[in-house]
């Protein structure tokens, strides 16, 4: 006989996978499309040379891109391999899962058809993405991808190929990306399920008694729960009677940018030192920004 806690862990684990896999599939197919159909020349025309304009334009593009944090990492890795600057790729990665129309509409519905929470969520997300992108543009040189992330390049959009050959290449790249990212998704989903099963929410609530502590607790809870950004607002709304608006915004902004699943996926794409700084910058800016709210 399985224990009740194990059955709960199994249920949460499967639900996370079911929620995340469709978005991962969308992400890897988009990554494959970028590899086979988008040339470096096309991207050069879209992304400005100026670092400030590059970060701003990438953040705006991310805001219009309906991508979940589960599938955004392979897309960004492929864009960077195609020549998009690291700082622009990161700005895109941070806004894509948070500000896109699907997420904002779900936030609007979750908080009683009120626009204040979508406004706070999108505003803080955009500011954090731009600030982090600008700092990275100054601090890091090169694309910061690990060697493994740069080897899947056996065919691309350059050269003259028929549409069918490019389409077949897109499917091969999508499969490569899926199996590369999928194992980290499974590990992350299991860790998140275990944390939800064995770490009591009441313990976190007891820790978050002060204003600053409540923001940190909600950020930690967002990391542990690893919810998809299309659904996290409904969980956040259940804490309205317990936590302040600012701490709920911290939950809604930090979770899609940094959770267990996407950190493990980033470890498959980026250097560890870069990820450490990236997560630290995001945490600091989300914490300060949410306190101001």
Supply the pLDDT for residue 236: 85
Supply the pLDDT for residue 151: 44
Contact between residue 211 and residue 291 where contact means Cβ atoms under 8 Å apart: yes
Contact between residue 95 and residue 59 where contact means Cβ atoms under 8 Å apart: yes
Supply the pLDDT for residue 247: 93
Whole-number Cα distances in Å, 117 to 173, 197, 284: 38, 29, 20
Whether the model pTM is above 0.85:
no
The DSSP output letter for 155 is S
Q: Rounded to the nearest 5°, which phi and psi values hold at 270?
A: -115, 160
Model confidence at 200: pLDDT above 80: no
According to the 3-state scheme, what is the secondary structure of 27-43?
A: HHHHHHHHHHHCCHHHH
Supply the pLDDT for residue 262: 87
**Once rounded to an integer, what is the mean pLDDT over residues 281-292?**
97
Categorize the per-residue pLDDT at 148 as very low, low, confident or very high, splitting at 50, 70 and 90.
low
User: What residues does 145 pair with on adjacent strands?
Assistant: 270
Nearest Cα to 30, choosing from 83, 68, 87? 68
Packing angle, helices 272-292 and 260-267, rounded to 10: 150
Q: Rounded to the nearest 5°, which phi and psi values hold at 152?
A: -80, 70
Furthest C-alpha separation in the chain: 63
Could you give the angle at the alpha carbon of 157 between the alpha carbons of 51 and 165, nearest 5°? Answer: 155
pLDDT in tens, 73-131: 888 888 898 889 999 999 999 998 898 787 888 889 888 888 999 999 999 999 999 99
**Once rounded to an integer, what is the mean pLDDT over residues 162-189?**
80
Q: Rounded to the nearest 5°, which phi and psi values hold at 265?
A: -65, -40
């Amino acid at each position: 006989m399985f224990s009740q806690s194990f059955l709960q862990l199994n249920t949460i684990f499967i639900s996370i996978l079911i929620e995340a896999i469709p978005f991962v599939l969308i992400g890897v197919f988009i990554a494959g499309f970028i590899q086979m159909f988008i040339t470096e020349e096309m991207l050069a025309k879209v992304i400005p040379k100026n670092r400030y304009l590059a970060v701003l334009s990438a953040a705006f593009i991310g805001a219009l891109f309906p991508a979940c944090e589960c599938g955004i990492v392979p897309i960004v890795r492929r864009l960077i391999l195609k020549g998009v600057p690291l700082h622009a790729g990161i700005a895109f990665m941070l806004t894509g899962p948070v500000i896109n129309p699907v997420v904002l509409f779900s936030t609007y519905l979750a908080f009683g058809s009120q626009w204040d929470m979508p406004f706070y969520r999108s505003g803080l997300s955009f500011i954090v993405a731009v600030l982090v992108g600008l700092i990275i543009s100054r601090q890091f040189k090169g694309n910061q991808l690990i060697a493994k992330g740069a080897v899947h390049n056996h065919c691309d959009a350059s050269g003259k190929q028929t549409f069918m050959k490019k389409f077949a290449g897109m499917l091969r790249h999508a499969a490569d990306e899926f199996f590369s990212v999928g194992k980290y998704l499974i590990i992350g989903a299991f860790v998140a399920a275990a944390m939800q099963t064995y770490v009591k929410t009441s313990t976190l609530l007891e820790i978050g008694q002060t204003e600053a502590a409540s923001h940190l607790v909600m950020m930690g809870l967002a990391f542990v729960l690893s919810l998809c950004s299309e659904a996290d607002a409904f969980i956040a709304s259940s804490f309205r009677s317990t936590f302040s608006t600012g701490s709920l915004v911290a939950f809604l902004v930090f979770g899609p940018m940094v959770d267990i699943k996407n950190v493990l996926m980033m470890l498959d794409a980026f250097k560890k030192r870069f990820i450490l700084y990236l997560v630290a910058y995001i945490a600091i800016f989300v914490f300060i920004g949410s306190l101001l709210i």
